[in-house]
Amino acid sequence: QVQLVESGGGLVQPGGSLRLSCAPSGRTFSTNAMGWFRQAPGKEREFVAAINWSGHSTYYTDSVQGRFTISRDNAKNTVYLDMDRLRPEDTAVYYCAASLTGQGIGDIVQAPPLNLNWGQGTQVTVSS
């Protein structure tokens, strides 16, 4: 599988902002839906945000709606997650995922894990 490389994680104070980036190496995912998931210590991995192949359709889990924004630049083959008004409960390892099967939001949100190409994860810690 193609390697997805995340960057931009780090330590930030509550109320602060971070931008995560995800870029695949070796091929383009410009015609595939992409998304972000996260896994907090002791918890299962959960869906955060998804974007369709063109970038015109997005979807978020309720807890980040209005605070996080997913976007993509297909010319740069990169997907972003802008995170504002961060809270301690946003602390987690954040994973980028690319659909291996489709272009739409559902190909991320409802996809079995094996239908997604995963990145290695980047740590986000929100703490004062």
Render pLDDT for 54-98 as a digit per residue (tens, 0 to 9).
999 999 999 999 999 999 999 999 999 999 999 999 999 999 999
Name the DSSP letter for residue 76. Answer: T
For the chain, what is the mean pLDDT? 94
Residue-wise burial string across 10-37, b where 16 or more C-beta atoms lie within 10 A, e elsewhere: eebeeeeebebbbbbeeeebbebbbbbb
Question: Which residue has 């383009």 as its token pair?
Answer: 28
Question: Which residue has 């290695």 as its token pair?
Answer: 120
* pLDDT at residue 1, as a whole number: 61
Render pLDDT for 3-13 as a digit per residue (tens, 0 to 9).
899 999 999 99
